[in-house]
């Protein structure tokens, strides 16, 4: 495939930015978390794009480690969210101000 690596990286940047916008704009904690997954995926895409452009395998290996971190993070994060929902009855992040003065 002869797509220039810049285009792959630009797609990665666009997806990352949409993820950032979602984290900033959405209020439902679960959707914020989905946007974080989207950001992790955009980083994966950047790694794969560089790996393909540079004929290297380092990027591909990194994707696996990111994937494990993402899975562990999803498990623990969602467990924490279930606990928060049980204690506070909401997942609206504007109301979750326990750590705020």
CA distances from 54 to 50, 57, 83 (A): 6, 9, 44
Give residues 2-21 in contact with another protein (rule: CB under 8 A): 2-3, 5-21
Region of 26 (left: φ > 0; alpha: ψ -120 to 50; beta: rest) is beta
Give residues 61-80 in contact with another protein (rule: CB under 8 A): 61, 63-65, 67-72, 74-76, 78-80
User: Smaller CB distance to another protein: residue 34 or 96?
Assistant: 34
Give residues 80-99 in contact with another protein (rule: CB under 8 A): 80-83, 85-86, 91-92
CA 60 distance to own-chain centroid: 17
């Amino acid at each position: 495939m002869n797509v220039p690596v810049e285009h792959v990286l630009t797609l990665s940047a666009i997806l990352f930015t949409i993820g950032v916008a979602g984290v900033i704009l959405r209020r439902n904690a679960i959707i914020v978390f989905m946007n974080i997954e989207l950001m992790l995926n955009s980083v994966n895409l950047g790694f794969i794009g560089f790996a393909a452009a540079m004929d290297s395998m380092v990027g591909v290996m990194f994707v696996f480690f990111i994937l494990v971190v993402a899975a562990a993070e999803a498990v623990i994060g969602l467990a924490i969210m279930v606990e928060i929902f049980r204690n506070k009855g909401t997942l609206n992040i504007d109301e979750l101000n326990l750590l705020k003065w």
